[in-house]
């Protein structure tokens, strides 16, 4: 036992030295990268530029002034990308002294050439009036929302679409609660219930009892 204790202390000391060396190595390779992204032609700040580590899962975006900050490692490839600009790759120097690195990155506008569009008039005024009167204008978001929330549309969908898991579970729980309410006694008859008769007349007027064929 007396021999094991000194060996344990020596082993623990060696492990601590190796862990400290690894920590110092990782600490020396970590770099705080910060900078600003601007246009190459007018030197204006570009907001919402994606700043990511190529091949990794970490990244950030620039603020309204084009400023960003991210923690990287020495030797990482940093990719700058934004809609309408050509992407740019920047490598963090491996021989960098210290743990901070600043950069002013310029992005070049990426020109997109669209196919040519030829606009031709209608041959006659009468044909233009006919096409304009019969033109189908697509619905906007407000009209689509109004149609989706229409009562008749929702009732038709209720009869066609199957119930999801939450609806089926709620229906089953309601049936069980109704059954437990009148446990040990006869449930009431709705034959003389005026509310039930009113619901029946409304359903009959809506045509809920008509044949689906």
Running DSSP on this structure, what letter comes out for residue 192? G
Pair 160, 199 in one domain: yes
Pure H helices in 74-187: 125-133, 141-148, 151-160, 165-181
Give percent helix, percent strand, percent coil of the chain, each to the nearest 5. Answer: 40, 20, 40
Residue 213 pLDDT: 56
Q: Nearest to residue 33, comparing CAs of 53, 48, 56?
A: 53
From residue 98, give the alpha-carbon distance in Å to each of 27, 29, 101, 169: 10, 9, 8, 61
Number of domains, the chain: 2
Helix (H), strand (E) at residue 75: none
Pair 24, 55 in one domain: yes
pLDDT digits (tens, 9 = 90+) for 109-153: 987 778 888 888 878 888 888 888 888 888 888 888 888 888 888
Q: Which tokens go with 13?
A: 């000391």
Residue 67 pLDDT: 95
pLDDT mean over 29-33? 89
CB 68 within 8 A of CB 37: yes
Rg over alpha carbons for the chain, rounded to the nearest Å, is 36
Q: CA-to-CA distance for 70 and 47, rounded, in angstroms?
A: 16
User: CATH number of the domain that 45 lies in?
Assistant: 2.60.40.1120
Running DSSP on this structure, what letter comes out for residue 45? B
- Residue 32 in domain: yes
* 212 or 200, greater pLDDT: 200
Pair 73, 142 in one domain: no
Q: CA-to-CA distance for 68 and 37, rounded, in angstroms?
A: 8
Residue 52 has pLDDT above 90, yes or no: yes
Domain that holds residue 147: 125-206
Query: For residue 48, is it left (φ>0), alpha (ψ between -120 and 50) or beta?
Result: left
Running DSSP on this structure, what letter comes out for residue 195? H
Pair 96, 137 in one domain: no
pLDDT mean over 72-82? 92
Mean per-residue pLDDT over the chain, rounded: 81
């Amino acid at each position: 036992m007396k021999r094991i204790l000194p060996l344990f202390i020596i082993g623990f000391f060696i492990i601590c030295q190796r862990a400290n060396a690894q920590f110092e190595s990782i600490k020396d390779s970590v770099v705080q990268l910060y900078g600003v992204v601007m246009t190459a032609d007018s030197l204006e700040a570009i907001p919402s530029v994606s700043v990511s580590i190529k091949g990794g899962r970490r990244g950030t975006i620039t603020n309204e002034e084009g400023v960003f900050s991210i923690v990287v490692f020495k030797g990482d490839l940093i990719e700058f990308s934004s809609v309408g600009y050509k992407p740019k790759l920047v490598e963090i120097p491996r021989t960098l002294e210290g743990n901070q690195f600043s950069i002013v990155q310029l992005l070049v506008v990426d020109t997109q050439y669209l196919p040519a569009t030829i606009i031709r008039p209608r041959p006659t005024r009468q044909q233009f009036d006919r096409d304009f009167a019969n033109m189908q204008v697509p619905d906007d978001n407000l009209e689509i929302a109004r149609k989706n929330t229409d009562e008749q549309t929702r009732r038709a969908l209720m009869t066609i679409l199957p119930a999801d898991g939450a609806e089926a579970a709620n229906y089953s729980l309601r049936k069980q609660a109704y059954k437990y309410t009148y446990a040990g006694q006869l449930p009431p008859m709705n034959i003389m219930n005026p509310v039930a008769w009113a619901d029946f007349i409304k359903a009959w007027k809506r045509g809920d009892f008509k044949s689906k064929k």
